[in-house]
C-alpha cells in the first residue's frame, strides 16, 4: 500500500468512527438532535423540529422511556404511514448529509398539493396524448405483426393477470414491510398477523383491482411484444452479421432474446406504471382507499396531476426491465436446454407429463433469478410511490445507501418477495405455456 493509499485509508477510518459516534450520540441523546435552528432573512434564529423519524422519536420520548408498551409500538388503529413522515425540514436535510434512517427515506420531499388544484388542462392534454399514442401503437402492432400474433398477447395478458392476482396477500405484506418502519424487521408471518390484527383480513387484498387490470395490460404487452420481436430481430441481426465477419456476434440467439425482452420490458413499464402507483398507495395508506381504486386514481390525478402517476416510472424501469429480461430469457433457454437434453438422450416423443414438468422446473428457476435481479428496483419503487410528494429516484437511492442498512437496504423484503415472485412467475409461465398450446402454438423451448 502506497503512502497516498495509507493517507486516504486513515482519513476514511476517522470519518467512519466519527459518523458511528454521531449515530450513537443521537440514539442516547435524541433531544439534542431533535431541535435545530434555522435563520430567517432578518438574521433571527427559529427553532424547529425535523420531520421523518425524529417526529416519531419526539412522540416516543414524551412517554415513559423505561416503560414502552406493546400497544405504543403497534397502535390499534393505524393512521396513514406518512402522517408522521410527510414533513420535511432543514434538520432532516442536515442529518441526511451524513446518515439517515429508513423513516427519512419514506418522508415526502415535496407536498403533493403544492401548486396543483384539481384536474388541469395540462393533465387532460397529457391523458389525451397518452391514450392516442397507446391506440396508435396498438393499431401498428395489429397491422404489422405476423398473422396469429394475437394469441401471444392473449396468453400473456391472461397469465399475468391471474398469476399476480392470486398471491395479492403476499404482495401486500412484502410492500408493507418495505414502506412501514414498524414491520420492516418482522418476518413474513408476524408482519401478516400485525396487519390482520390492526386492519382486518380484507387489508391483505388491498390493491387487487389495479393489480389485475394493470398486469392484464402489462402481460399482454410484455409477452406479445417479446414473441413478435424475436423473429423480426432475428432477420435484422442476421443481415447485420452478414455485412462483416467482425459482426458475427450479432448472429446470437441469446442476444436476440435479450434485446426482445429489453424492448418489451420498457414498453410494459409505461403501461403498468399508473396502476402500480395506485396499488402501492392503496397498500401503504389504508385511509386513502375511500371510493375504491378508481376513486384513488382520481384523487391522485386531482391532487398531484399526471406526474402523480409517472413519478414511479424510473424505479419501474429499474424493476421491470431486469425482471422481464431475466424471466423471459431464462425460461426460454432453460426449457430449450431440457428438451434438447431429452432428444440427445434418445427420447423420441415428449410426453404430456414431460411438457408439464419441464416448464414447471424452468419457471421455478426463472422465478428465483428474476426476483433477485429486480429486487433493488422493487424496493425503490415501493419507497417512491408509497406516499404523496415527489422524491427523486437518485435521492431515494442515496438515502438507502446512507441509512443504517447501507446496500442491504435495497434488499429489504427479499425473502418475502422470493415467495411472492416464486408463486407469480411459476403460475404465470405455466399458464402462458398452456394457453399458447391451447391456441395452437408450440410449447416454449420446442
Please provide the DSSP assignment of 336-398 as one string. Answer: HHHHHHHHHTT--S--HHHHHHHHHHHHHHHHHHHHHHHHHHHHHHHHHHSSSS---HHHHHH
Output the pLDDT for position 292. Answer: 82
Q: CA triplet 151, 152, 155: central angle to 5 degrees?
A: 80
Give the integer Cα–Cα distance in Å for 53 and 58. Answer: 9
Output the pLDDT for position 226. Answer: 95
Four-residue CA torsion sign, 371, 374, 380, 386: negative
Alpha helices in 145-180 (DSSP H): 150-165, 168-179
**If 0-12 CB within 10 Å is exposed, 13-18 middle and 19+ buried, where does residue 345 land?**
exposed
Q: Is 322:268 a contact under the CB 8 Å cutoff?
A: no
Show me where the domains of the chain are located: 31-106, 145-438
Helices and strands (H and E) in the chain: how many: 18, 2
**Could you tell me which of 364, 360, 379, 384 has the C-alpha nearest to residue 417?**
379
Output the pLDDT for position 158. Answer: 94
Residue 337: phi and psi, rounded to 5, are -65, -45
CB atoms within 10 A of CB 99: 18
Whole-structure pTM value = 0.72
Give the integer Cα–Cα distance in Å for 323 and 35. Answer: 44
Output the pLDDT for position 118. Answer: 77
Q: CA triplet 118, 124, 126: central angle to 5 degrees?
A: 120
Task: Tell the residue number behind the cell numbers 402500480, with chain if given.
Answer: 276
- Cell numbers standing for residue 437: 398450446
Task: Tell the residue number behind the cell numbers 391506440, with chain if given.
Answer: 135
pLDDT tens for the chain, 446 residues long, are 554 454 445 545 544 444 444 344 344 333 333 333 444 444 444 333 333 333 333 333 343 344 344 334 444 434 444 443 333 333 333 333 445 566 666 655 454 445 566 788 888 898 899 889 888 888 888 788 888 899 999 999 999 999 999 999 999 998 888 888 888 888 889 999 999 999 899 889 988 999 999 999 999 999 999 999 999 999 999 999 998 888 888 989 999 999 999 999 999 999 999 998 899 888 888 776 667 888 888 888 888 888 888 877 888 999 999 999 999 999 999 999 999 999 999 888 889 999 999 999 999 999 999 999 999 999 988 888 776 666 778 888 888 888 888 888 898 889 889 998 999 999 999 999 999 999 999 899 88
**What DSSP designation does 120 have?**
-
Q: Is 321:262 a contact under the CB 8 Å cutoff?
A: yes
* Three-state secondary structure call for residue 434: helix
Residues 6 or more apart in contact with residue 104 via CB below 8 angstroms: 52, 53, 92, 95, 96, 399, 403
Please provide the DSSP assignment of 291-332 as one string. Answer: THHHHHHHHHHHHH-THHHHTTHHHHHHHHHHHHHHHHHHHH
Give the integer Cα–Cα distance in Å for 228 and 30. Answer: 59
- Computed on alpha carbons and rounded to an integer, the radius of gyration of the chain in Å comes to 25
- Cell numbers standing for residue 152: 401471444
Output the pLDDT for position 162. Answer: 94
Instruction: Give the class (CATH, top level) of 145-438.
Output: mainly alpha
Output the pLDDT for position 78. Answer: 41
Amino acid at each position: 500500500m502506497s503512502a497516498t493509499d495509507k493517507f486516504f485509508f486513515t482519513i476514511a477510518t476517522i470519518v467512519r468512527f466519527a459518523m458511528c459516534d454521531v449515530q450513537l450520540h443521537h440514539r442516547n441523546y435524541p433531544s439534542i438532535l431533535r431541535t435545530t435552528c434555522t435563520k430567517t432573512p432578518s438574521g433571527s434564529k427559529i427553532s424547529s423540529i425535523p420531520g421523518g423519524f425524529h417526529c416519531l422519536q419526539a412522540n416516543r420520548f414524551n412517554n415513559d422511556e423505561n416503560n414502552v408498551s406493546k400497544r405504543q409500538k403497534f397502535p390499534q388503529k393505524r393512521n396513514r404511514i406518512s402522517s408522521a413522515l410527510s414533513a420535511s425540514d432543514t434538520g432532516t436535510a442536515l442529518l441526511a448529509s451524513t446518515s439517515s434512517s429508513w423513516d427519512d427515506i419514506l418522508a415526502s420531499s415535496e407536498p403533493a398539493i403544492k401548486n396543483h388544484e384539481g384536474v388541469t388542462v395540462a393533465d387532460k392534454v397529457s391523458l389525451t396524448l397518452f391514450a392516442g399514442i397507446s391506440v396508435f401503437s396498438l393499431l401498428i402492432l395489429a397491422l404489422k405483426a405476423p398473422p396469429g400474433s394475437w394469441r401471444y398477447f392473449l396468453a400473456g395478458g391472461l397469465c399475468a393477470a391471474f398469476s399476480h392476482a392470486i398471491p395479492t396477500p403476499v404482495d401486500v405484506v412484502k410492500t408493507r414491510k418495505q414502506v412501514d418502519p414498524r414491520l420492516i424487521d418482522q418476518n413474513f408471518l408476524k408482519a401478516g398477523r400485525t396487519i390482520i390484527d390492526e386492519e382486518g383480513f380484507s387489508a391483505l387484498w388491498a390493491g387487487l383491482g389495479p393489480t389485475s387490470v394493470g398486469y392484464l395490460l402489462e402481460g399482454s404487452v410484455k409477452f406479445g411484444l417479446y414473441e413478435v420481436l424475436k423473429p423480426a430481430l432475428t432477420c435484422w441481426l442476421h443481415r447485420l452479421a452478414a455485412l462483416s465477419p467482425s459482426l458475427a456476434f450479432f448472429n446470437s440467439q441469446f442476444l436476440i432474446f435479450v434485446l426482445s425482452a429489453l424492448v418489451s420490458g420498457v414498453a410494459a413499464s409505461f403501461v403498468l406504471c399508473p396502476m402500480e402507483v395506485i396499488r402501492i398507495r392503496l397498500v401503504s395508506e389504508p385511509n386513502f382507499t375511500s371510493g375504491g381504486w378508481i376513486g384513488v386514481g382520481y384523487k391522485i390525478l386531482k391532487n398531484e396531476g399526471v406526474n402523480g402517476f409517472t413519478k414511479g416510472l424510473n424505479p419501474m424501469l429499474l424493476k421491470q426491465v431486469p425482471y422481464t429480461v431475466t424471466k423471459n430469457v431464462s425460461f426460454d433457454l432453460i426449457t430449450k436446454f431440457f428438451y434438447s437434453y431429452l432428444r440427445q438422450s434418445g427420447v423420441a416423443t415428449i410426453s404430456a407429463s414431460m411438457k408439464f414438468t419441464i416448464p414447471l422446473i424452468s419457471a421455478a428457476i426463472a422465478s428465483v433469478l428474476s426476483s433477485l435481479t429486480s429486487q433493488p428496483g422493487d424496493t425503490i419503487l415501493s419507497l417512491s410511490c408509497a406516499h404523496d410528494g415527489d422524491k427523486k429516484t437518485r435521492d431515494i437511492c442515496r438515502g438507502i445507501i446512507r441509512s443504517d442498512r447501507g446496500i442491504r437496504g435495497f434488499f429489504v423484503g427479499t425473502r418475502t418477495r422470493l415467495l411472492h415472485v416464486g408463486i407469480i412467475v411459476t403460475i404465470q409461465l405455466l399458464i402462458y405455456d398452456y394457453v399458447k398450446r391451447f391456441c395452437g402454438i408450440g410449447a416454449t423451448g420446442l
